[in-house]
Structure 1
Amino acid sequence: MLPRHHDPIIAVATAPGRGAVGIVRLSGQDLSALIQALCGGPLKPRHATLLTFQAADGQPIDQGLALHFPAPNAYTGEDVLELQVHGGPVVLQLLLARCLQLAAEPHPDHGRPRLPGLRLAEPGEFTERAFLNDKLDLAQAEAVADLIDASTEAAARSASRALEGALSRPVQALAAELTALRALVEATLDFPEEEIDFLQRADALGRVQRVLDALQAMGRQARQGQLLREGLTVVLAGQPNVGKSSLLNALAGAELAIVTPVAGTTRDRVGGTVQIEGVPVHVVDTAGLREDDEAADEVERIGIGRSWQAIETADAVLLLHDLTRLGEPAGEAADARIAERLAAHGVVPLHLGSKADAAPSAPLPWPGALRLSAHSGEGLAELRAELLRRAGWQPAAEGVFTARERHLVALHDAQAHVEAAAVLLAEGAQVLELAAEELRRGHDALAAITGRLTADDLLGEIFGRFCIGK
């Protein structure tokens, strides 16, 4: 561990603001001297003790609970002390300052500070220590942050499954199988007289294929988990006054955007997040698309530019067409220009015929288009289902765990290396060394998921995104 990982740390572990309860959390190698000074004596492990916490002048700070979790049976693997008091910011800061003061004061028996080096914790440092002390692997540590950040019930449940090891266990099992296969191939290299018959008797190719099948299944699950964690970004695009803002409000079930008959009402991006079968969908309403010289003013031109920026980064683009204006030459020409520019950006939109309640018999001249009315609700259910289908969501999927982009990349890399190893094994003994190397690289890719092979800069990036106190 880096030197800073040996320092005792302290932080307010509850969210900023006022609440019924606030928690100050400490972690370090030995907190006994500080506990003695702060609490007036040792605490019974894992039992809540009611105390009055006092300032340096003997005045009470607050009455609350103290809980001591001795190492190694604590969240971080070190001694952990949690102080629960009333959740006022001033109370928590007073208690935090008192702990820092007591830590720096000399111990009456030997004159050294009671808890030398106690400092404020960095974001995610408690969970980082849990990882470094083998209380959690890296995938489980990331699941802690995902559980805190979950925006839907389904996302919270999938994060909880990942925290329990739904991702880590199969990864570790596959890593163990790859280790066994590597040993098998290495043994064949060490005893060349056995040649390829040894591998055939051990069913090496069959075992490699089973690993590949498992990696493919895990990749599908991970993609579902990534969707639950990150959601789907959907941009509403189209000419001015085609019903984009009305659709946003209908999907959100709230008046998020101003709706008027005046073209160009929306000048900037307006967004909201909705849930579709537990999947968070981030819907972005944009300024109506038209040529710069047609914009009413500079504000609208800036809004149109931002619309195209949002389109370029969207997971899905819904291109709305006003069914009540079909056949108008100017409107059709504008739609053609929009479609041409979308194609130039590689965007394949989902066409929506809007205001269907006002034009119930109007045709849908766009391939795969849906008929929609934000006013009556016609087509909204079909639109939700189509968005999930395009995102690759499988409603019947069970045991989904949250996953991140780096997990998907690692699984993809592992699969690519194992596939290469399978090809090499099939070619015969002359390329076994190359097969052994591919198996090693596949094993390393899997190990990066759980953190067995992880660079310090990646750890800093991951834990730096956590909240302070966790």
Structure 2
Amino acid sequence: MMTRELPIIAVATAPGKAGVGVIRISGRNLNAIIGALFQKNLLPRQATLLTLHEVDGQAIDQLIAIYFAGPASFTGEDVLELQCHGGPQLLELVMKRCLELGKIAGLVIAEPGEFTLRAYLNNKIDLAQAEAIADLIDAQSEAAVRGAARSLQGVFSTDINNLIEEITQLRILVESTLDFPEEEIEFLESAQARERLKKVSDQLAVLRQGAQQGKILREGIQLVLAGAPNVGKSSLLNRLAGEEVAIVTPIAGTTRDRVKESISIDGVPINIIDTAGLRDTSDVVEAKGIERSWDAIRLADLVIFLRDARTPDEEDNFLRAQILQAIPPRCPVLELGNKADLLGLEVKGTANPETLYISAKTGEGIDDLKARILKMVGWGGAHEGVISARRRHLDCLERAAEHLHQSAAFASHGNISLELFAEELRLAQDQLGQITGKLLPDDLLGKIFSQFCIGK
């Protein structure tokens, strides 16, 4: 898919019945295909009402055709959009006829994401903008839509490119001084290299924070409820979901498998996973559920370790230690004492600040719990200005920050090495370049676009 230059075709609208269905064709020169379809040329950017016929002359559909001459099109190639009536069988017939008449020009069905890939390869958009298209389609909330739209408009890319430019200018200064090792200290002072590096690092830190917010909006938070049997995990899930989505009984071990529910807290999507109670058991079914519980914990963004508020902390130490060993790096754990109503505890002002006390039965402390969840996953509380971001982007930003931190070490007093300073700057620049696709391997590029829907 990365190298083929054949014209491509796909249905660009979602499957199912609709008033209008769109079929899109893109290629280097579509004049031959347009002539074969309609026996006439089309004026660029003008809607034309036409009829597409079968080989025996029967009409398939009366449709609107719009021709965009490259490079002034989404893909940078010639693009033809056919707006048909939106019946699935009708669209299939139109597709079939287009492939028949376009065979002489090599017309083939598009691969997933191939239209966007061509836009990227033809420099119409960069990789971050291309990914934002998929994020815009998949957005599950208004805030996620707005964040993806900002990324598509180039807000994220502009911030990345500005950082790259700052690092480039600093590299030019550093590398121009490499031939004069006796002047290293004077250079660092006169060029204010350390100050400029700190400014870049501060800008990167702000960008990382915004990207983290964007990832949360795009992917949601994977929140796992873990703990021993009968501590109230299913009751808490029901309380957060606002409905009875999990079975609750006084019998320990009622939940045998993971129960998933999606909710929203202040517009932030939360994917809650209620797990089977963690304990040693000879029950084969329960043991399988506990195994899946540990799998969920290992993939969590946040683990809520739930215990009975009446149980002394010491009895939960072993289970808590197991959870801490299983969770991903940097995954926070929130300790929650449930059934506080049975102790007569006041939820606010509790004597133990590390444990939040709630009652899933009465709703005590649930508002505090929601606020704590958002805080622990790094949500800043504002949707304005948030851009859409992925785990890939966060990894690149984190590695760039590490290289900038290392470069600062090589420029510090008593540890000056301009060669290593320059190399760490280059590595940081490379990581940022991977976000916009300037320095990305072809195999990773293919993997990214293969996750798009066909027709985009």
Query: What TM-score, normalized to structure 1?
Result: 0.87
For 2:98, the equivalent position in structure 1 comes to 99
For 1:279, the equivalent position in structure 2 comes to 268
1:167 partnered with 2:156: yes
CA distance in 1, matches of 2:404, 2:252: 56
User: Which amino acid letter does the alignment assign opposite residue 122 of structure 1?
Assistant: E
For 1:118, the equivalent position in structure 2 comes to 107
User: Which amino acid letter does the alignment assign opposite residue 124 of structure 1?
Assistant: G
- Once the two structures are superposed, residues 57-107 of structure 1 have per-residue CA deviations (whole angstroms, 9 ceiling, x without a partner) of 222222222111111111111111111212222111111111110012xxx
For 2:74, the equivalent position in structure 1 comes to 75
CA distance in 1, matches of 2:301, 2:415: 46
For 1:47, the equivalent position in structure 2 comes to 46
Counterpart selection for 1:399 from 385, 399, 409: 385
CA distance in 2, matches of 1:257, 1:429: 60
Give SS of 2:29's match.
Answer: coil
What pairs up with 1:124-273 in 2 under 5 angstroms? 124-189=113-178, 197=186, 200-273=189-262
Counterpart selection for 1:438 from 424, 428, 441: 424
Q: After the TM superposition, which of the residue ranges 197-206 and 275-284 deviates more from structure 2?
A: 197-206
Q: Kindly indicate whether the alpha-carbon contact (under 8 Å) linking 1:267 and 1:299 is maintained by their aligned counterparts in 2.
A: yes
For 2:56, the equivalent position in structure 1 comes to 57
Counterpart selection for 2:323 from 322, 334, 342: 342
User: Which amino acid letter does the alignment assign opposite residue 438 of structure 1?
Assistant: E
Deviation of 1:467 after TM superposition, in Å, equals 0.8
Give SS of 1:266's match.
Answer: coil
Query: What TM-score, normalized to structure 2?
Result: 0.90
In structure 2, runs of 5+ residues without a counterpart are: none
1:7 partnered with 2:1: no
Deviation of 1:242 after TM superposition, in Å, equals 3.1
User: Which amino acid letter does the alignment assign opposite residue 400 of structure 1?
Assistant: V
1:298 partnered with 2:279: no
Give SS of 1:189's match.
Answer: coil
* Change in 2 beyond 3 A, CA 1:395/1:348: closer
Deviation of 1:396 after TM superposition, in Å, equals 3.7
For 1:315, the equivalent position in structure 2 comes to 301
1:413 partnered with 2:412: no
Give SS of 2:417's match.
Answer: helix
CA distance in 1, matches of 2:332, 2:160: 35
Give SS of 1:73's match.
Answer: coil
User: Which amino acid letter does the alignment assign opposite residue 162 of structure 1?
Assistant: S
Q: Kindly indicate whether the alpha-carbon contact (under 8 Å) linking 1:239 and 1:334 is maintained by their aligned counterparts in 2.
A: no
CA distance in 1, matches of 2:441, 2:192: 35
CA distance in 1, matches of 2:313, 2:188: 66
* Change in 2 beyond 3 A, CA 1:252/1:58: farther
**RMSD over aligned Cα, in angstroms?**
2.8
In structure 1, runs of 5+ residues without a counterpart are: 105-112
Query: How many percent of aligned residue pairs carry the same amino acid?
Result: 53
Q: Kindly indicate whether the alpha-carbon contact (under 8 Å) linking 1:70 and 1:78 is maintained by their aligned counterparts in 2.
A: yes
CA distance in 2, matches of 1:235, 1:10: 43
- Once the two structures are superposed, residues 90-139 of structure 1 have per-residue CA deviations (whole angstroms, 9 ceiling, x without a partner) of 111111111110012xxxxxxxx2x2x21111111111111101111111
- Once the two structures are superposed, residues 387-434 of structure 1 have per-residue CA deviations (whole angstroms, 9 ceiling, x without a partner) of 111111111464111212222222222223333333434569983333
* Change in 2 beyond 3 A, CA 1:430/1:225: closer
For 1:424, the equivalent position in structure 2 comes to 410
* Change in 2 beyond 3 A, CA 1:161/1:94: same
Aligned pair count? 451
User: Which amino acid letter does the alignment assign opposite residue 74 of structure 1?
Assistant: S
* Change in 2 beyond 3 A, CA 1:31/1:301: same
User: Which amino acid letter does the alignment assign opposite residue 28 of structure 1?
Assistant: G
- Once the two structures are superposed, residues 301-360 of structure 1 have per-residue CA deviations (whole angstroms, 9 ceiling, x without a partner) of 21122122222322222233345xx36xxx989745533433443687423333445554
For 1:372, the equivalent position in structure 2 comes to 358
Give SS of 2:102's match.
Answer: helix
CA distance in 2, matches of 1:196, 1:213: 23
